[in-house]
């Protein structure tokens, strides 16, 4: 591996420490890790146990099949704040079209200023740490996505494609990623499955940057009680650069205007370093929905706060 690639791979490692999508001993083996950030506060509060849920624009991220149950136009926006200066932004739109639902979204992530601690030899940067930073650099990510979902009987299906761009220091790389999903509903039960971020990508300083693909399947069960609506969720996720993980979540809606949520995420076969609880709440006033999620600090990386807003749908 070339010494000139070291600052870039270090930045890839940093951007891989995304909330609810950490990496294990293969750190740096996948790029574009911001694609695994969950901007939907409703899903994040239930530990991402959301693949069988639907009816909102940000289902485009969790499982595009969940878009199929939207009956009207919905606009969604979200802000994620974690790890000092890292910010993740989301803006999306979905509307009924072509006998189904069409959706578009833009996601961006910025690292803020990262100290540059390599020596300038006059020709190029070499991988020798300097005692004091010689400057700063940044990591900037962006993705533009288009998705379509349609309901056929009790089966919802959906597909999405994203153009992805990542810039680290003066180098950049792009990719095209495909998402596929299905969701089956029967009475109080919903079962969903999705395959995300499968596609082709380029190289960064002669280093291949693979997409962080993953697969997830799950089930939800809804139980209406007088004045309260209870929804229990359970998902299993597999990612080739991480462990198999189990995601459990519960949502309690009171008088259809207040929702309280809690979730738990852990390794399926072995406990992972980021195992733990998540929590959040949601408020609904007419067509306006405001959701908040909190992921406590783990491994010294700082707590994560996610706020998402949706109008319509």
Query: Which residue in this structure is represented by tokens 């993953």?
Result: 214
pLDDT the model gives residue 53: 95
Contact present, 20 and 48 (Cβ < 8 Å) = yes
Pick the closest to residue 176 from 132, 222, 145, 154 (CA basis).
145
Query: Which residue in this structure is represented by tokens 């990612």?
Result: 239
Cross-strand bridge partners of residue 146: 104, 161
- For range 247-273, the mean pLDDT: 91
Pick the closest to residue 157 from 166, 165, 148 (CA basis).
148
- pLDDT tens string 173-210: 999 999 999 999 999 999 999 999 999 999 987 888 99
- Helix-, strand-, coil-residue percentages of the chain, each rounded to 5: 10, 55, 35
Q: Which two tokens stand for residue 245?
A: 């993980």
Lowest mean pLDDT among 3-12, 67-76, 208-217, 224-233: 3-12
- Torsion angles phi and psi, residue 85, rounded to 5: -105, 10
pLDDT the model gives residue 21: 39
Give the chain's count of helices (H) and strands (E): 3, 20
pLDDT for residue 11 is more than 60: no
- The helix/strand/coil state of 256 is coil
Residue 2 pLDDT class (50, 70, 90 cuts): very low
Query: Which of the two residues, 260 and 85, has the higher pLDDT score?
Result: 260
- For range 140-164, the mean pLDDT: 96
- For range 255-265, the mean pLDDT: 93
DSSP state of 13: H
Top-ranked range on mean pLDDT: pick from 42-51, 114-123, 236-245, 301-310 = 42-51
- For range 97-102, the mean pLDDT: 96
- For range 30-56, the mean pLDDT: 94
Q: Which two tokens stand for residue 254?
A: 């009171």
pLDDT for residue 271 is more than 80: no
Contact present, 200 and 176 (Cβ < 8 Å) = yes
Domains by residue range for the chain, with CATH: 3-312 (2.40.160.60)
Q: Which two tokens stand for residue 43?
A: 């899903």
- pLDDT tens string 54-84: 999 999 999 999 999 999 999 999 999 876 6
- pLDDT tens string 14-28: 334 334 333 333 434
Query: Which residue in this structure is represented by tokens 């399947």?
Result: 217
**Phi-psi bin for 312: left (phi > 0), alpha (psi -120 to 50), beta?**
left
13 Cβ contact partners less than 8 Å away, ≥ 6 residues apart: 27, 28
- For range 161-165, the mean pLDDT: 97
Residue-averaged pLDDT of the chain: 85
* Model pTM score: 0.85
pLDDT for residue 214 is more than 60: yes
HEC per residue, 189-214: EEEEEEEEEEEEECEECCEECCCCCE
Residue 31 pLDDT class (50, 70, 90 cuts): confident
Pick the closest to residue 83 from 16, 140, 38, 129 (CA basis).
16
């Amino acid at each position: 591996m070339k010494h000139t690639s070291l600052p870039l791979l270090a930045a890839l490692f940093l951007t891989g420490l995304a909330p609810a999508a950490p990496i294990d001993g293969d750190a740096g083996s996948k790029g574009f890790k911001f694609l695994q950030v969950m901007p939907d506060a409703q899903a994040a509060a239930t530990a991402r146990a959301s693949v069988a849920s639907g009816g909102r624009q940000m289902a485009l991220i969790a499982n595009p099949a969940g878009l199929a149950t939207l009956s009207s136009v919905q606009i969604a926006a979200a802000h994620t704040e974690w790890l000092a200066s890292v910010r993740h932004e989301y803006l999306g739109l979905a509307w009924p079209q072509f006998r189904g639902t069409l959706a578009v979204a833009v996601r961006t992530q910025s690292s803020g200023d990262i100290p540059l601690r390599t020596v300038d030899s006059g020709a190029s940067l070499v991988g020798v740490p300097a005692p004091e930073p010689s400057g700063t650099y940044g990591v900037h990510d962006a993705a533009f996505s288009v998705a379509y979902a349609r309901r056929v009987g009790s089966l919802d299906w959906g597909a999405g494609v994203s153009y992805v761009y990542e810039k680290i220091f003066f180098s950049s790389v792009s990719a095209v990623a495909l998402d596929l999903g299905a969701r089956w509903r029967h009475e109080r039960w919903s079962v969903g499955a999705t395959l995300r971020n499968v596609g082709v990508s380029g190289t960064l300083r002669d280093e291949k940057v693979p997409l962080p693909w993953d697969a997830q399947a799950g089930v939800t069960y809804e139980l209406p009680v007088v004045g309260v609506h209870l929804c229990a969720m359970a998902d299993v996720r597999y990612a080739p650069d991480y462990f198999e993980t189990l995601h459990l979540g519960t949502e309690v809606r009171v008088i259809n205007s207040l929702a309280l949520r809690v979730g738990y995420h852990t390794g399926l076969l072995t406990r992972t370093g980021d195992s733990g609880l998540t929590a959040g709440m949601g408020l609904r006033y007419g067509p306006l929905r405001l959701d908040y999620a909190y992921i406590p600090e783990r491994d010294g990386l700082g707590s994560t706060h996610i706020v998402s807003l949706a109008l319509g749908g």
